[in-house]
């Protein structure tokens, strides 16, 4: 992994602590809430107090001189604040970062040297209706994680799992018949939305029992087209029925069925080998209680029909079989209870197969919480029973792709999101995506103005030394941390960090722009400030691209 300033400092601090006290310590630098406390802080005194059996202040008084010497090229001051060691970056270190950013942006960005092969599965909506806003949030999150990982050189791929089997397909078949007037009452848990009438008319002449398969494929094609228009594409599409018994329905009716049925058989054979299958009341259960689950989980029903759980295990075995080392799934909050049993089952499956890489440890679920749409301060009501939906298509038509994708990333995925439709449509600084895009466009205009004034030549190191005002230093500090931010997004799977970093950078540039004349009589200072502005623009453009948001030159 190519180093960043923060990670370089963390490695050096770890080394100094080891050399000084002979104690291994993982050092994680934090950004203090108050900039007067420095650029970084680490609670080293508190962490060493117990193993050394000494007061934190005494430990840091011994450690601080050694840290100052070891970090001298990057840090201009080392201060003790209670149990924290506070560091302030040197002006030279920040100016060097700016020089490198402008000279070769791609080389300046950090790279993940030996990342595990990662497969991110997201959206995976049933092929029974249009994509909704919850699907849209998952699409924004998953696609951004893929883009960030790839930008760092990590081996990351995207996958879509089509739930084209089971009860939803039977309900779709019955719903089509209702829409065609062939039954008086709609089916329980059927699909009543007017959208289905459009598809139903196209299969009126097909025999009952074959219509749902055609409609599901048509809906899937439309879903993929909507996602592509939303800026989201997938490397692979896998169908649930690939893991079904090929005897369930004819191949000419379902071209996917049974292709990977061997994986379903392997799962059952592995559990039999491990002796963790239980037969109860005619059904076949996996005894997950052997690993702390509250009850066994059914794999095959008493009527012989496998459960979704069995097919899900077969599907994830297929993922491991393709050489992926970390499986990341984005699920909705209604699937939270499924996580523990899946991890337990994967551990048992790996043991039964004698494959240690097949394990719950290599399986990560990110729960993407629900979305509430607000218009006029009130909740936009939808009714599944009445077939009333607000779709991804509706959202894009109302607020556009840029605002939709940006807003979906504004909160941690573990937090429910209130999506303010009115705010997303505003063309003002109140709208965060407009605010960030406007700074990018403003800098483009600034560069054009500088060219009109005849400003030529690139900033020299002596010019950059003039960037010493609080507003300039603040921007330099934000720019220097962008690489660390991307690594944090990738490693912690927290894409909400990205829009906030861009908003902070836009706010910092706005304060700088308002307080200081950028193109002025002092040519050296002008070149330096234009270089700083150009770097801000480059980082904003890259950050927006990672979010699937445009970086316009005019607004």
Distance CA 549, CA 406 (A): 7
- The pTM assigned to this predicted structure is 0.95
pLDDT level of residue 1 (50, 70, 90 thresholds): very low
* pLDDT above 60 for 2: no
The angle that helices 523-546 and 133-151 make with each other, rounded to 10 degrees, is: 130
pLDDT level of residue 170 (50, 70, 90 thresholds): very high
Q: Mean pLDDT over residues 256-270, rounded?
A: 98
* pLDDT above 90 for 92: yes
* pLDDT above 70 for 76: yes
Q: Which long-range contacts (CB under 8 A, 24 or more apart) does 287-290 make?
A: 288/341, 288/344, 288/345, 288/348, 290/348
Q: Residue 13 has which token pair?
A: 């601090």
* pLDDT above 90 for 315: yes
Please, what is the average pLDDT of the chain?
95
Q: Can you list the domains of the chain with their CATH numbers?
A: 5-89 (3.30.1360.70), 432-546 (1.10.730.10)
Q: Mean pLDDT over residues 238-248, rounded?
A: 96
CA atoms within 13 A on the CB side of 328: 24
Q: Residue 371 has which token pair?
A: 């979305």
User: Helices in 87-155 by DSSP H: which ranges?
Assistant: 91-103, 105-108, 133-151
State whether the Cα torsion 324-327-328-330 is positive or negative: positive
* pLDDT above 70 for 385: no
């Amino acid at each position: 992994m190519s180093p960043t300033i923060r990670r370089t400092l963390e490695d050096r601090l770890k080394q100094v602590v080891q050399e000084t006290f002979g104690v291994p310590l993982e050092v994680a630098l934090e950004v203090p809430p108050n900039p007067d406390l420095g650029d970084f802080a680490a609670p080293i005194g508190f962490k060493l107090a117990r193993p050394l059996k000494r007061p934190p202040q005494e430990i840091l008084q011994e450690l601080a001189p050694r840290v100052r010497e070891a970090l001298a090229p990057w840090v201009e001051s080392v201060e003790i604040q209670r149990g924290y060691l506070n560091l302030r970056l040197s002006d030279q270190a920040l100016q060097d970062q700016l020089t490198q950013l402008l000279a070769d942006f791609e080389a300046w960005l950090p790279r993940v040297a030996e990342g595990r092969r990662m497969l991110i599965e997201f959206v995976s909506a049933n092929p029974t209706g249009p994509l909704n806003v919850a699907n849209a949030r998952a699409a924004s999150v998953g696609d951004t994680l893929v883009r960030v990982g790839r930008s760092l050189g990590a081996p990351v791929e995207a996958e879509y799992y089509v739930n084209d089997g089971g009860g939803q397909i039977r309900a779709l078949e019955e719903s089509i018949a209702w829409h065609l007037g062939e039954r008086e009452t709609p089916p329980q848990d059927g699909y009543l939305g007017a959208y289905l009438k459009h598809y139903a008319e196209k299969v009126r002449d097909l025999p009952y029992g074959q219509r749902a398969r055609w409609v599901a494929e048509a809906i899937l094609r439309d879903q993929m087209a909507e996602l592509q228009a939303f800026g989201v594409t997938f490397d692979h599409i896998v169908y649930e029925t690939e893991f079904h018994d090929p005897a369930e329905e004819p191949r000419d009716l379902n071209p996917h069925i049974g292709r990977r049925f061997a994986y379903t058989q392997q799962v059952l054979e592995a559990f039999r080998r491990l002796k963790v299958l239980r037969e109860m009341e005619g059904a076949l259960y996996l005894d997950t209680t052997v690993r702390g689950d509250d009850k066994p989980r059914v794999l095959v029903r008493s009527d012989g029909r496998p459960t979704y759980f069995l097919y899900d295990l077969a599907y994830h075995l297929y993922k491991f079989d393709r050489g992926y080392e970390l499986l990341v799934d984005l699920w909705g909050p209604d699937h939270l209870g499924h996580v523990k049993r899946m991890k337990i089952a994967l551990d048992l499956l790996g043991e039964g197969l004698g494959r240690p890489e097949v394990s719950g440890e290599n399986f990560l679920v990110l729960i993407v919480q629900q979305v509430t749409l607000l218009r006029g301060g009130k909740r936009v009501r939808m009714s599944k029973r009445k077939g009333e939906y607000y779709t991804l298509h509706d959202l894009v038509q109302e607020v556009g792709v840029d605002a939709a994708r940006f807003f979906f990333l504004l909160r941690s995925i573990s937090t429910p999101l209130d999506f303010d439709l009115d705010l997303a449509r505003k063309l003002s600084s109140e709208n965060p995506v407009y605010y960030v895009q406007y700074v990018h466009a403003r800098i483009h205009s600034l560069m054009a103005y500088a060219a009109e004034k005849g400003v030529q030549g690139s900033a020299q190191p002596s010019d950059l030394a003039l960037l010493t005002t609080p507003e300039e230093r603040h921007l330099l500090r934000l720019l220097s941390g962008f690489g660390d931010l991307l690594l944090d997004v990738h490693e912690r799977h927290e894409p909400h960090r990205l829009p906030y970093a861009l908003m902070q950078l836009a706010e910092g540039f706005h304060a700088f722009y308002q307080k200081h004349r950028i193109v002025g009589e002092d040519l050296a200072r002008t070149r330096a400030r234009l270089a700083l502005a150009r770097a801000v623009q480059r980082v904003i453009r890259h950050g927006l691209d990672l979010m699937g948001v445009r970086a316009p030159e005019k607004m």
